[in-house]
Amino acid sequence: MLVPVPTLSQLPRTLAPMLASTSPLPETEERWAWEPKWDGWRVLVWGEGGHVRVVTRAGHNVTNLFPELEPLGEIVGRRDAVLDGELVAWGDDGRSDFGRLFSRLHSRSGPAHRQAKTEFPITWVAFDLCYLDGASFLDQPYRSRRAALEDLDLSGPSWHTTPASLGEGLAMLRAAREYDLEGVVAKRLDGRYLPGRRSRSWVKVKRFQRAEVVVIGWVPWRNGLSGPLAVGQRIDGGSAQVRFAGVVEAGFSEGDRAELGRRLVDLQDPTARPWREHRGQPLYPVRPELTVEVQLLEWTALGQARHMSYKGIARQ
């Protein structure tokens, strides 16, 4: 049941969206709601005077870029509402495609914009409600905000409400993997909406994968410890040629750094000059003989790994 909330004389002109922290899957699944994590562009939608206003996380008004959302004003524009959500573009396979959204965002006027609107239609996916009928829902628990959002019945040609599952985190995560989504967002059922704050009441659980990569460079630290690792993938499997895949910075324990330091110092030519710099630190090449396992979000079309973390030395 909704708790009474005060009615405002007018909606706030600005509102910073609440942000999620990144964490493993919460253990008490039944205390959380689970939503897909869309690979899109975060925006808030204001509904006032029969019209909608689309505003980015940075506070920029981009309403004119998305004319397909104008009819949404007939639904929320007369309700004095502020809703949170994500703009998503879809690929030919029906899955979210950030590349198409990027093309849409960078075609802002003229014939290119009209062509992009036709070729790359977008959908606004609503996932939270901040104000409705001039009343603030910020202090309401997620469960109440979700009920009010569902009552709006946002289902149209270019907008809908994100699905949510109560207490079924593993099932939602499996669905995210099946449909190639970035992951899921877990939201505490009793959590308030905290504008502009990164809160552990919202937790991003990303759909990671693992891969074996070969170390091709490292940043030597003091006391024989290893810093970040440059890694690559062998071209055509067993080839001696290695394609650079990125730099691993996260996931190391002190024991990992000591073990890697002992191994990599023997693989580095002591006369070699730094290959490149990484965040102001010299990165030295090593012979590509040590294979490690990493966890990553995805591979880009250019063969680069996104969001890598170290998991250990691969079994030889």
Strand partners, 232: 214, 244
Ramachandran class of 251: left when φ > 0, alpha when ψ lies in -120 to 50, beta otherwise: left
* Model pLDDT, residue 4: 47
The H-assigned helical ranges of the chain are: 73-76, 98-105, 110-119, 142-151, 169-178, 254-267
Q: Give ∠ CA 149-153-154 in degrees, rounded to 5.
A: 85
* Model pLDDT, residue 239: 57
Domains and CATH numbers, the chain: 36-165 (3.30.470.30), 209-313 (2.40.50.140)
Q: Identify which of 28, 213, 181 has the alpha carbon closest to the alpha carbon of residue 91.
A: 181
Rg of the chain's alpha carbons, rounded to an integer? 24
Q: What is the mean pLDDT of each run of 10 residues along the chain (316 residues)?
A: 53 93 77 91 94 94 92 90 95 79 71 65 96 94 97 95 86 77 90 96 84 95 94 77 93 94 94 89 94 86 85 83
What token pair was written down for 63?
A: 């309403």
* Model pLDDT, residue 104: 80
187 is catalytic: no
Write down the catalytic residue from 37, 187, 206, 311: 37
